[in-house]
Chains A and B, each alone.
Chain A
Amino acid sequence: MHGRPRKALKPEDLAASAAKAEKLRILQSQFLFNHHQKIYTKEALELSGKLLEINPECYTAWNYRKLAVQHSLIEANSDPDSVKSFLDQELQLVENALRQNFKSYGAWHHRKWVLNKGHSSIEKELRLLDKLQNVDPRNFHAWNYRRFVAALLNRSDEDELNYTQDFIDKNISNYSAWHNRSVLLSSLMKKNVQGFSQKDEVLTREYELVREAVFTDEDDQSGWFYHRWLLDQTVKAESPLLDSSWPAHGSDITLSGDRCLDLGSSSPLNNYQFDSGLLPLILYFNQAVEGVNSSTVTFSSGFNMNKDAIWKPLSSNNFKTAQVWVAQLKLPKVELDSLQAYTIEVTVGHSQGIISSSGHYCRPSEFAFTVRVQHLKTKQAEGSGLEKISWGDENFHIYEFDSLESNLVIPLNHPSIQNEHESADSSWQAKIIDEEVNNFRELLDCKIGKLTLARLLTARDALMSLDKSVHSDEVLRLLSELMKLDPPHSRFYKDEHSLVLLKKVTSSRESLLSYCFRYRNLASSTSVNPICLRLNGLSLSRVGSFEKLLWVQMLDLSQNELRSIEGLEAMQLLSHLNLSKNKLGSFTALEPLRHLKSMKVLDLSYNEIGTHTIDSTRYLCSSPLSHSVGGEWDDSEIVTDGVSLANYWEAFLILKGLKLTQLDIAGNAIADEKFTAFLAKVLPALKWLDDVQLN
């Protein structure tokens, strides 16, 4: 019932409607009788036709008509005239039914089915579509049917593009036509059809066209999404690229076997805890790729290293495609001499195989770093590892790296990856975007103008080879204005604002270092704790720029407005994480933690876990609901005797694989006594749960 007014019907209307319903009921039961008895006489067909003209939604009647057609095709004994006239009758019926309900799936499908028999004139279909599409230019059934007919007729994409253009010319506010244009144009560009092979020319033309739509009526959305698509087309890398890595190119990594070290000149930024004897290697691509393996990524080093590293994609659901890949290099501890630095060279993509949805990895790159091993000198005092990490401000001191260190602090100095043919052809893109920026500066009194300008400027920054964010302040200002201008979507702009802010924070070494802190008691002693990156209290609703943060082992994100930590899985070195005082709504929002196997200390206190009835990350987390966990769930009951796992499955799935020693969960609705007892069971290595020391 769409668009029918709510009003009490008059008695005569009620009677009429009851009579109509009764008539329909009789018609339907007669029809069903014929259907079940397989009666295909002329009278029976007329009856079903009548039914469908009144109610085209009666799908069983369309099925019956198809059976009748099949029956009569056999009867007609391939006499072409009688076959054609029978099928024409079907086409006429569909036309009548569509007049009753233009949106009837059954009617449209019946027409396709009849045409697929191959006995009817297709030319006629174009005329019919002209007629119907002029009545309702947004009808998606008709557009779908149009594509079907165009394919049957082998009409060229150019012809269809002209047809679509007519609709846009008639009314610029026709989203369906813009959509069809995007489909046709994609196909023409992909096929390199003449006139569509020069990407910059095509895009310039399209920008001009869609700008007209956006500027004509700034509230009309028809051109908005098309413009954004053009922008994506302008800046999107044609093929995958390596964005960053850990260790970074040129970095000098110190591997320590224990916390107590005589550090000498080593920088805490580059010190990595090496208990396991495994050195993680992280590759961060600009898009999701597959095919990262020991033949597409190769190593050379000055010592005997296992070169058949096993590369794992960091994706939920065990998909073979991911933006971030990690391998654990096994270094032969005994062979490594602590006095010597070893160079490891990595080459990525010299042999083909790395591929994304947009193409092959075709810019082979290499990077090199050195590692040295610090063997522990003294065994740590028994029990000292049990001390609780406390995230209070008083425990952190700004990290002042001395100039001796500066050349060691490579990880912050991006870009570290040497791509051999560094965007030599980016100039046409910069030109197009600059042109658009100028145009949209004229449209700053409305939301789409501001939003588009913000996007254009962000894209412009991304084009610059040194990853500068010269426009970030202007973009942040635009997004703040949008939050006020368009309150219902304020959190959309807020999320974007957070991402741009982080881009700015991570854009230079100077900026990033002002967020780097040393943790208290360990700063004075001879032992080294990793540097803590403190991004707390920045009002972030979302996190990003992970490609710049792969080196971080200790991260404070507390007192923000995070609802999700999507992407955090890239930070493979993380061992200490503070998420306290955010808006995390459930354990499923913590899915990235499942990939962070080094995680030891986690603060989740004062979030909203257990507060909500609707969980918006329920399906972004691998679970039995999405058929993306296997055995680990099946044998789980043993672990949790007494506690109903069905109530805590989210926490169980996220935490079970972690070896946490410290967890804070207080201040969440879920954290009652029963739950904390459950946690203690799931996390046997736990030493601290909230403020309680466990045995």
Chain B
Amino acid sequence: MEHLRMNGAYWGLTALDLLGKIDALDSNEVIEWIMKCQHESGGFAGNIGHDPHMLYTLSAVQVLALFDKLNVLDADKVANYVSGLQNDDGSFTGDEWGEVDTRFSYLAICCLSILHRLDKINVEKAVNYIVSCKNVDGGFGCTPGGESHAGQIFCCVGALAVTGSLHHVDKDLLGWWLCERQVKSGGLNGRPEKLPDVCYSWWVLSSLIMIDRVHWINKDKLVKFILNCQDTENGGISDRPEDAVDVFHTYFGVAGLSLLEYPGVKAIDPAYALPVDVVNRIFFQK
């Protein structure tokens, strides 16, 4: 999993920050490593020696935002990399090799917004492309015609939220689809008739919050499900009770608990996927 270490850094550090423990790591060391992953193009790789990709560029920017160190970046250079990946139809590719997916629309929009560089892309076209991926169930897919999936819905709703375009979402229709992701155990699945998984505590919950329909699920049952996935001996959270833990699910579990207003966990922003205080620092402090 070395190739996605940058995502790992984001998951681990955000979870730590939500738990008030980000000081456990030496920020200088992390930042030094992050900057070694940057390419001449401005994009970041998942690890030293790998190729740049939008997936890791956003994670790098998010981690720097966590440490309040966005100033180490040449923001224009990063923004040029990201905006260079927009296609004529408004969609984005993940890197120079042409894979198109609404995940990349979210990554690009979120990244540019954090850098205050959203004006570098054609936002209207970007929004229209996302809307063209909307399905009759109210959800969104990877590309036009693609099936709705909670992770994809988070990306599309998040991108629409950041661009002030949530009026394109049918909130009641999507809200019904999303709230029916809660299964009997209290956990959430990502598509109809699938198993629950802690990571959907993030994808589904954040989407429900952005469209103001989170009260349509039972929060207490979900809290219990997440806590049941905790490895009480060694720490960490897994996808389902009794499975092996990993940093990915630990982050999503902690972030889910944050969205559920669980005591002792800092609030996380549902669109930028960063602690609320970090987001407020970026947008409201001058």
Residue positions of A touching B, CB distance < 8 A: 1-7, 25, 28, 32, 36, 57-60, 62-63, 66, 105, 109, 112-113, 138, 140, 143-144, 147, 173, 175-176, 179-180, 182-183, 186, 220-222, 224-226, 228-229, 232, 288, 315-317, 319, 321, 487-489, 491-492, 495, 563-564, 566, 589, 612-614, 616-620, 622-628, 637, 645-646, 649
Contact = CB atoms under 8 A, between A and B. Distances in A.
B101 to A, nearest CB: 8
Contacts of B267: 613-614
Interface of chain A, main secondary structure? helix
Contact of A627 (B101, B149, B164, B166): B164
Interface string B16-58: 0000000000000000000000000000011001110100000
A140 B146 contact: yes
B273 interface: no
Nearest to A220: B193
B147 A614 contact: no
A226 B147 CA distance: 13
23 contacts: A3-B243, A6-B231, A6-B244, A6-B245, A60-B50, A66-B97, A112-B99, A113-B98, A144-B141, A179-B137, A492-B213, A495-B216, A566-B212, A614-B214, A614-B258, A618-B269, A619-B161, A619-B162, A619-B166, A619-B210, A620-B211, A637-B286, A646-B284
Given A144-B143, A625-B162, A221 B193 contact: yes
Interface stretch (B60-68, B75-83, B169-177): B169-177
Interface string B97-113: 11101000000000001
Contacts of B261: 612-614
Contacts of B212: 563-564, 566, 589, 616-617, 620
A393 B165 CA distance: 41
Given A60-B3, A140-B141, A613-B261, A5 B51 contact: no
Given A113-B98, A625-B279, A1 B244 contact: yes
B191 interface: yes
B102 to A, nearest CB: 12
B147 A176 contact: yes
B175 A63 contact: no
A288 B165 CA distance: 14
Given A140-B147, A176-B147, A225 B239 contact: no
A625 B173 CA distance: 25
A1 B167 contact: no
B176 A4 contact: no
A492 B179 contact: yes
Interface residues of B, number: 89
Contacts of B180: 221, 224, 489
Contacts of A1: 238-239, 243-246, 248-249
A570 B51 CA distance: 52
B208 to A, nearest CB: 8
Given A176-B147, A627-B163, 18 more contacts: A2-B243, A3-B240, A5-B242, A6-B238, A57-B4, A59-B3, A59-B53, A109-B97, A140-B141, A222-B192, A317-B164, A319-B167, A488-B182, A589-B212, A613-B261, A614-B267, A614-B268, A619-B210
Contacts of A619: 161-162, 166, 210, 270-271
Nearest to B119: A627
Contacts of A563: 212, 215
Contacts of B125: none
Given A63-B95, A66-B97, A622-B164, A225 B280 contact: no
A558 to B, nearest CB: 20
A175 B243 contact: no
Given A140-B141, A179-B148, A637-B286, A173 B97 contact: no
B52 to A, nearest CB: 10
A619 B142 CA distance: 23
Interface in B261-286: 261, 267-271, 276, 279-280, 283-286
Contacts of B175: 492
B51 A624 contact: no
Nearest to A32: B49
B40 to A, nearest CB: 14
Nearest to A566: B212
Contacts of B211: 620
Nearest to A315: B167
Nearest to B210: A619
A2 B196 CA distance: 11
Contacts of A186: 136
